[in-house]
């Protein structure tokens, strides 16, 4: 089968073991709950918030407006299952928590309602770039109303306070180190952003839609490519 409909696809498979194909080593998967994400407009932004996020004009994926839980699939990549080396393997927005995912397709985010380009090869994707080792889920409308003008880096991301986004990301008491769910600075109705360290770090990562038997989109995944497409 062609990616992303591969047997080793492991998003949300807590307790699952994935063979690395190297001398009997394996990854052990677990889940971290990042809380809910408010999606007032249904224009889902997945990007590197510290390097590429904009107040408007981000590339988006259309989903129903609502409030959805974000789960991160963690991989213990120590090779021996002792929890000494954890990486984020997938981030998932659960549009329906009860429906069964039976198929997956690459989703290409687009700007301003443009038509996504047609992919011609199996497994081909136009993902989003990461240059600060971090990805996020947010709503475009929430960002437009919830983010101020000005220098976000100095005023919000790394302002030296315990509420800075960098500090929340590093706080093991918040969710766990590397994950955060943060209200937007100008939020009026709970608008927020879910931020996730991006697996091995910088790169270009695909957005993958999960669909039920009727073809309805029920999950939106970011695959951080920690689990290789040909893993056992």
Q: Is a pLDDT exceeding 80 seen at residue 80?
A: no
**Residue-averaged pLDDT of the chain:** 93
What's the pLDDT score for residue 88?
A: 98
Closest by Cα among 98, 101, 11, 116 to 62: 116
pLDDT for 136-185, tens place per residue? 999 999 999 999 999 999 999 999 999 999 999 999 999 999 999 999 99
Q: Report whether 65 contacts 39 (CB < 8 A).
A: yes
C-alpha pair distances (Å), 150 with each of 147, 159, 212:
9, 13, 42
pTM of the model: 0.94
φ and ψ of 145, to 5 deg: -95, -20
Q: Report whether 128 contacts 46 (CB < 8 A).
A: yes
Per residue, the 3-state secondary structure of 117-136, as one string, reads: CCCCCCCCCCCEEECCCEEE
Q: Is a pLDDT exceeding 90 seen at residue 82?
A: no
Q: Is a pLDDT exceeding 60 seen at residue 119?
A: no
CA dist 39 and 37 (Å) reads 6
pLDDT for 96-113, tens place per residue? 999 999 999 999 999 876
């Amino acid at each position: 089968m062609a990616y992303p409909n591969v047997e080793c696809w492991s998003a949300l498979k807590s307790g699952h073991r994935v063979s690395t194909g190297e001398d009997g080593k394996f990854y052990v998967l677990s889940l971290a709950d990042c809380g809910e994400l408010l999606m007032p407009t249904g224009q889902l932004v997945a990007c590197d918030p510290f390097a590429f996020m904009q107040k408007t004009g981000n590339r988006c994926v259309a989903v129903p407006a609502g409030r959805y839980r974000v789960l991160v699939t963690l991989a213990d990549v120590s090779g021996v299952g002792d929890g000494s080396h954890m990486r984020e393997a997938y981030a998932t927005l659960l549009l329906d928590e009860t429906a069964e995912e039976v198929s997956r397709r690459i989703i290409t985010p687009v700007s301003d309602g443009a038509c996504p380009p047609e992919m011609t090869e199996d497994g081909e994707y136009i993902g989003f770039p990461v240059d600060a080792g971090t990805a996020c889920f947010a709503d475009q409308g929430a960002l437009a109303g919830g983010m101020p003008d000005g220098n976000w880096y100095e005023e919000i991301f790394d302002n030296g306070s315990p509420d800075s986004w960098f500090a929340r990301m590093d706080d093991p008491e918040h969710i766990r180190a590397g994950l955060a769910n943060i209200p937007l600075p100008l939020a009026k109705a709970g608008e927020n952003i879910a931020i996730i360290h991006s697996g091995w770090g910088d790169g270009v990562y695909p957005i993958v839609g999960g669909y039920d038997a009727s073809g309805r989109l029920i999950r939106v995944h970011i695959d951080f490519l920690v689990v290789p497409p040909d893993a056992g």
